[in-house]
Chains A and B, each alone.
Chain A
Amino acid sequence: MSAPTLERPAPDEAALQEHFDATIAAEHRIEPRDWMPEGYRKTLVRQIAQHAHSEIIGMQPEGDWLLAAPSLRRKAILLAKVQDEAGHGLYLYSAAETLGADRADLTDKLIEGRQKYSSIFNYPTLTYADVGVIGWFVDGAAICNQVPLCRSSYGPYARAMIRVCKEESFHQRQGYELLMTMMRGTDEQRAMVQDAVDRWWWPSLMMFGPPDDDSPNSAQSMAWGIKRHSNDELRQRYVDMSVPQAEVLGVTLPDPELTYDEASGHYRFGAIDWSEFKRVISGEGPMNAVRIARRRAARDDNAWVREAATAYARKHAS
């Protein structure tokens, strides 16, 4: 986009910073062509890019079951959900591009391992119950993280989050309904659900990130209004929401230390194995190599389609 030529003196940096700070303090949104501090822009590019990458890579664990869905109904639901994840990724790349990032370049950085995506997608989906548990746990945790982001100080990011959150609710509900259906089935099906719950519960708690005392950048992100709640706050909120849902479903969350604390009104939970988290995000999870290899293949094997469309457009341009 190009601005109209307006003759006016360039404001000095201090005045720009002051105006930016005042906009944040007044809870107004920062919009793409506003002046913003370099750190704010970089933090947003990094955060939105990793979020977009997570949505795109997040298609794979569930996509693995598209051809093995147990009924046409489940297949249609799963297709719609996986398509939504692609959409979420694109809304987010679109938001990142308003900050001067470039989608193709971000994709390259993901494939080269220079930018990350959520550790949760480096676990395999072993049975169809995993599809349900991903909807319930993973999308549930994502909703917990994303609802406050609808009020993020950066306008395009907040607006993308509003769209995402509207669609995410279907994701969580279809997962829970799938699990309820299995729990009404055979003993074997109930065992499958419990097994999936056992495998996904702890990685889902890790989705909220390291504990607050080990999250040095959170304070700046909160001051900028990019992030609204601390990691531990959101994790606690998620646990409090999930326990009664597990009770209704009739599954046991795999944490012997999970107890209700009358005084605080919160559920207390056991220690999270952060060494596993660090291992998985550094590339040593069970599925890291597969996820990236597939994304690379999608980029490279389909390059000819993009090139052909470009050639066609050039030929037909008037």
Chain B
Amino acid sequence: MSMTSEGGHGAVPTGPEVPVEPKPATARRDWPLYEVFVRGKRGINHVHVGSLHAPDDEMAVHAARDLYTRRNEGVSIWVVRSADITASSPDEKDPMFAPSGDKVYRHPTFYEIPENVPHM
């Protein structure tokens, strides 16, 4: 049995005998997955903090409170079914974001203003 220290609590077997692929039959049985967004305090945006399983929207909000705000981490929670999110690829080299790469004139530093011009 080959072992390595993995994760926060120690060593586990690492061979091919440890399965890592989900069985579809089990996967269908569980509650749907929700993504959770928390507003840390007034004045800032909701930020994605993780996900959880819940049977419906209302239960998802309650579970999100218990799971992600045990220490006053939030004043407001959004939950949304993971399946309802449409996303781009997070890949920074994605052609999706290429159009903004060469438009340096969108940034204030593109423009040279003499130092003696105040308040600019």
- Residues of A with Cβ closer than 8 Å to B? 1-4, 6, 8, 19, 28, 31-35, 41-43, 45-51, 54-55, 58, 80, 83-84, 87, 90-92, 94-95, 97-98, 100-106, 108-109, 114-121, 138, 141-142, 145-146, 149, 156, 159-161, 163-164, 167, 206-210, 214-218, 221, 227, 231, 234, 277-278, 281-282, 306, 309-310, 312-313, 316-317
Of listed B2, B4, B17, residue having the most chain A CB within 10 A: B4
By secondary structure, the B interface counts as loop
How far, in Å, is A294 (CB) from chain B's closest CB? 18
Q: A47 and B6: CB pair below 8 A?
A: yes
Q: A1 and B86: CB pair below 8 A?
A: yes
Tell me the complex Cα distance, A210–B10, Å: 9
Q: B18 and A310: CB pair below 8 A?
A: no
Q: A94 and B50: CB pair below 8 A?
A: yes
B31 partner residues in chain A, CB cutoff 8 A: 306, 309-310
Of listed B5, B29, B50, residue having the most chain A CB within 10 A: B5
Q: A164 and B89: CB pair below 8 A?
A: no
- B9: contacting residue among A46, A120, A316, CB under 8 A: A120
Sample (20) of A-B pairs whose CB atoms are under 8 Å apart: A8-B95, A33-B91, A35-B91, A46-B18, A50-B6, A87-B70, A91-B50, A101-B22, A104-B30, A116-B13, A207-B9, A209-B5, A210-B11, A214-B3, A216-B2, A218-B5, A231-B11, A234-B5, A281-B12, A306-B55
Tell me the complex Cα distance, A105–B10, Å: 22
Q: B90 and A103: CB pair below 8 A?
A: no
A214 partner residues in chain B, CB cutoff 8 A: 3
11 further contact pairs, Cβ within 8 A, besides A120-B9, A221-B4, A281-B12: A2-B86, A3-B88, A58-B9, A92-B7, A102-B22, A104-B26, A118-B9, A146-B8, A167-B71, A281-B3, A306-B31
Tell me the complex Cα distance, A281–B59, Å: 37
Kindly state whether residue B23 has any CB partner on chain A within 8 Å. Answer: yes
Tell me the complex Cα distance, A91–B109, Å: 41
Q: A142 and B9: CB pair below 8 A?
A: yes
Q: A206 and B95: CB pair below 8 A?
A: no
Q: A50 and B7: CB pair below 8 A?
A: yes
> Chain B 81-120, CB within 8 Å of chain A: the 1/0 string?
0110111111111011000000000000000000000000
How far, in Å, is B30 (CB) from chain A's closest CB? 4
Kindly state whether residue B20 has any CB partner on chain A within 8 Å. Answer: yes
Kindly state whether residue B46 has any CB partner on chain A within 8 Å. Answer: no
- B26: contacting residue among A4, A45, A102, CB under 8 A: A102
Tell me the complex Cα distance, A116–B18, Å: 8
Q: A310 and B55: CB pair below 8 A?
A: yes
Q: A282 and B14: CB pair below 8 A?
A: no
B91 partner residues in chain A, CB cutoff 8 A: 19, 31, 33-35
- A32: contacting residue among B2, B8, B90, CB under 8 A: B90
How far, in Å, is A217 (CB) from chain B's closest CB? 4
Q: B70 and A84: CB pair below 8 A?
A: yes
Q: A164 and B30: CB pair below 8 A?
A: no
Q: B20 and A101: CB pair below 8 A?
A: yes
Which chain A residue lies CB-closest to B85? Answer: A1
Tell me the complex Cα distance, A138–B29, Å: 34
Tell me the complex Cα distance, A217–B30, Å: 32
Of listed B10, B56, B89, residue having the most chain A CB within 10 A: B10
Q: A105 and B9: CB pair below 8 A?
A: no
Kindly state whether residue B67 has any CB partner on chain A within 8 Å. Answer: yes
- A105: contacting residue among B3, B5, B26, B67, CB under 8 A: B26
Q: B83 and A1: CB pair below 8 A?
A: yes
Q: B26 and A108: CB pair below 8 A?
A: yes
Q: A4 and B86: CB pair below 8 A?
A: yes
